[in-house]
A and B are shown apart, each in its own frame.
Chain A
Amino acid sequence: MTIKVFLVDDHGLFRAGVRAELERGAAGDPPLEIVGEAGSVDEAVAGIAHLKPDVVLLDVHMPDGGGAAVLARVRPAQPDVVFLALSVSDAAEDVIAVIRGGARGYVTKTISARELGDAVRRVEAGDPVFSPRLAGFVLDAFSDRPGAAPAVDPELDLLTKRERDVLRLLARGYAYKEIAGELFISVKTVETHVSSVLRKTQLSNRYELSRWASDRRLV
Chain B
Amino acid sequence: MTSPAVPTREPLVRRRSGRLVAGVAGGVADHLGVNVLWVRAAFVVLAAVNGAGMLAYGLLWVFVRQEAADVTREVSAKERQQAMGLAALGIGIGLVGAALQNQIVGWIVGPLGVAAVGAAVVWREADEAQRRRWTTGARSGFLGGGRNAVLRVVAGGVFVAAGIAVFLLGNLNLGQVQFGVLVVLTTVVGIGVLTVPWWVRLARDFGEERRARIVTAERAEIAAHLHDSVLQTLALIQKQSHDPREVQRLARGQERELRHWLYGPQGYGRGGSTPALDESLASALQVAAAEIEDTYAITVNPVIVGDHPLDDGLRALVLAAREAMVNAAKHAQVDEVSVYAEVEPDEVNVFVRDRGKGFDPEDVPADRHGLADSVHGRMGRHGGTVRLRSTPGEGTEVHLAIPVLQEEKA
- Do A218 and B264 contact each other (CB < 8 Å), given the known contacts A133-B303, A171-B305? yes
Instruction: Please tell me which one of the listed residues B259, B265, B338 contacts residue A172 in the complex, with CB atoms under 8 A apart.
Output: B338
Query: Footprint of B on A, CB under 8 Å?
Result: 89-91, 110, 132-133, 135-136, 139-140, 143, 145-146, 168, 171-173, 217-219
Complex alpha-carbon distance, A96 and B142, angstroms: 51
Which chain A positions have C-beta within 8 A of B65? none
Cβ-based interface call for B245 (8 A): no
Contact call B303/A143, Cβ cutoff below 8 A: no
Q: Count residues on chain B whose CB falls below 8 Å from chain A CBs.
A: 23
Provide the residues of chain A in CB contact with B270, threshold 8 Å: 217
A residues less than 8 Å from B303 (CB atoms): 132-133, 135-136, 171-172
Given contacts A173-B353, A217-B269, A219-B263, contact A140 B306 (CB under 8 A): yes
A110 vs B355: C-alpha distance when bound (angstroms) = 17
Mark each residue of chain B from 178 to 189: 1 if its CB lies under 8 Å from any CB of chain A, else 0.
Answer: 000000000000
- B260 in the interface (beta carbon within 8 A): yes
Identify which of B264, B299, B304, B355 contacts A136 (C-beta below 8 A).
B304
CA distance A168 to B340 in the complex (A): 8
Could you write out 7 A-B pairs with CB less than 8 Å apart? Answer: A139-B342, A168-B342, A171-B303, A173-B301, A173-B353, A173-B355, A219-B264
Say if the beta carbon of B351 comes within 8 Å of chain A.
yes
Residue in B260, B306, B353 whose CB lies within 8 Å of A219: B260
A135 / chain B contacts, CB cutoff of 8 Å: 303
Residues in A with CB closer than 8 Å to B122 are none
B326 at the interface (CB under 8 A from A): no
Verify B282–A172 contact, CB threshold 8 A: no
Residues of A within 8 A of B263 (CB): 89-91, 217-219
A143 to B308, CA, bound (A): 14
Query: Measured between C-beta atoms, what is the minimum distance from B135 to chain A in Å?
Result: 40
List of A residues within 8 angstroms of B305 by Cβ: 136, 139-140, 143, 171
Q: Which residues of B contact A146 (CB under 8 A)?
A: 409
Cα A20 to Cα B305 with chains together (Å): 34
Q: Mark B393-410, 1 if CB is under 8 A from A, else 0.
A: 000010000000000010
Chain A nearest Cβ from B389, distance in angstroms:
10
Whether A171 contacts B340 by the Cβ 8 Å rule is yes
**A91 CA to B265 CA in the complex, in Å?**
11
Task: Kindly list the 9 A-B residue pairs having the minimum CB-CB distance in the complex, ordered from nearest.
Answer: A173-B338, A136-B303, A172-B340, A140-B305, A219-B263, A219-B259, A172-B351, A171-B340, A91-B263
